[in-house]
């Protein structure tokens, strides 16, 4: 998304993030954006869903406020959750049809 901007690179460098942590943060924000971007509310799409820059700023700022180790932990949680959802995708339509 916006990780290659000089100001962002400097911020991440100043925070002391290692390459692996930056990669994890990049993956996290991208995963969150993909899901956030596809949400449909009761009245359709929200105006904030068209503000990728604002989303990026808020998500990165939140993750940078946590201990550095949490970036890797949250990414692993997201990966595990997505793996579980993908594994269960075949079962959900069958379960819904039965109810």
pTM for the predicted model, two decimal places:
0.77
Q: Hey, what are 63's tokens?
A: 């993750």
Tens of pLDDT along 17-58? 999 999 999 999 998 998 889 888 899 999 999 999 999 999
H helices within 2-99, ranges in order? 6-14, 19-38, 52-65, 68-88, 91-98
Of residues 60 and 99, more confidently modeled? 60
């Amino acid at each position: 998304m916006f990780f290659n901007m000089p100001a962002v690179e400097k911020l991440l460098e100043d925070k002391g993030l290692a390459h692996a942590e930056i990669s994890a943060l990049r993956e996290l924000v991208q995963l969150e954006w993909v899901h956030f971007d596809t949400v449909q509310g009761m009245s359709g799409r929200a105006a904030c869903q068209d503000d990728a820059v604002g989303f990026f700023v808020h998500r990165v700022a939140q993750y940078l406020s946590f201990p550095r180790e949490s970036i890797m932990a949250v990414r692993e949680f997201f990966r595990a959750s997505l793996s579980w959802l993908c594994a269960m995708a075949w079962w959900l339509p069958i379960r819904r049809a039965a109810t």
